Amino acid sequence: MLQVDALRGVVALDGPSGTGKSTVARRLAADLGARYLDTGAMYRAAALGVLRAGVDPADAGAVLATVEGLDIHIGTDPGAPTVTLDGADVARAIRDAPVTSAVSPVSAVTEVRALLVAQQRRIIDDAAGIVVEGRDIGTVVAPDAPLKVFLTASPAQRAQRRAIQDGVQDLAGVRRSVERRDRLDSTRTASPLRPAADAVELDTTELDATEVLAALHELVAQRGLLVVAPGMSAQRGRP
């Protein structure tokens, strides 16, 4: 019977948009038979709910009242992550430009963060091994995570990756939007974007996803987060 290494514990992957977090987080989780949690998708689903309710994203009180009434569900299979809002699949809708604009003010509301962080912690507690990506995973959501990685990349490189990911042609516009969100995310009072004191910082400007993934595999092994999982075969990490 083939034996493979499986992840035990939490890998916290933080950093700004366009650093390649999602790609490598999903691949790392799939490689290691672990769950995958995209916390940004939860904030995006909340922002979509706010927009659909016709609420001004800048009106913190109305935003909170709306988000409290939303049913956001996130699936953690790295092979097929899902996100639903009030029972409907919103995986595509949460990537639309109006949601991307609304998500920074929505995610800056302290009480909205408290609601979503509580949900994130429940998901993390239920998983034997999980790769969690976001902005505040190492600092707030899972401060005891045995491995925290903070990904960075130059703004130009991040804008280019984001434009490709979102299928947008206007590179200058994407760069302005990326920089605007960085500014909002790192200057907000509630859980601003910053590396945890004990995070490993990895600059991905000159690295492709495979190289970043290799660096993460090495860190996971160094930290002793692998257990031998019997009974797995065919595809790495799959029962």
Instruction: Find the shortest distance in angstroms from Cβ 39 to ligand DC.
Output: 4
Instruction: Find the shortest distance in angstroms from Cβ 54 to ligand DC.
Output: 21
Q: Which is nearer to ligand DC, 17 or 204 (CB)?
A: 17
Contact 36, 7 (CB under 8 A): no
List residues near ligand DC by CB under 6 A.
17, 39-40, 43-44, 103-104, 107, 134-136, 181, 185
Query: CB burial class (10 A; 0-12, 13-18, 19+) of residue 210?
Result: exposed
SS3 of 85, please? strand
DSSP conformation letters of 180-238? HHHHHHHH-SSS-S---TTPEEEE-TT--HHHHHHHHHHHHHHTT-EEEETT--SSTT-
Instruction: Find the shortest distance in angstroms from Cβ 71 to ligand DC.
Output: 19
DSSP conformation letters of 143-154? TT-SEEEEEE--
Q: Which is nearer to ligand DC, 194 or 236 (CB)?
A: 194
Instruction: Find the shortest distance in angstroms from Cβ 192 to ligand DC.
Output: 9
Instruction: Find the shortest distance in angstroms from Cβ 149 to ligand DC.
Output: 14
Dist CA 133 CA 118 (whole Å): 15
Dist CA 42 CA 120 (whole Å): 9
Q: Which is nearer to ligand DC, 40 or 146 (CB)?
A: 40
Contact 150, 28 (CB under 8 A): no
Q: Which is nearer to ligand DC, 4 or 85 (CB)?
A: 85
Q: Which is nearer to ligand DC, 5 or 185 (CB)?
A: 185
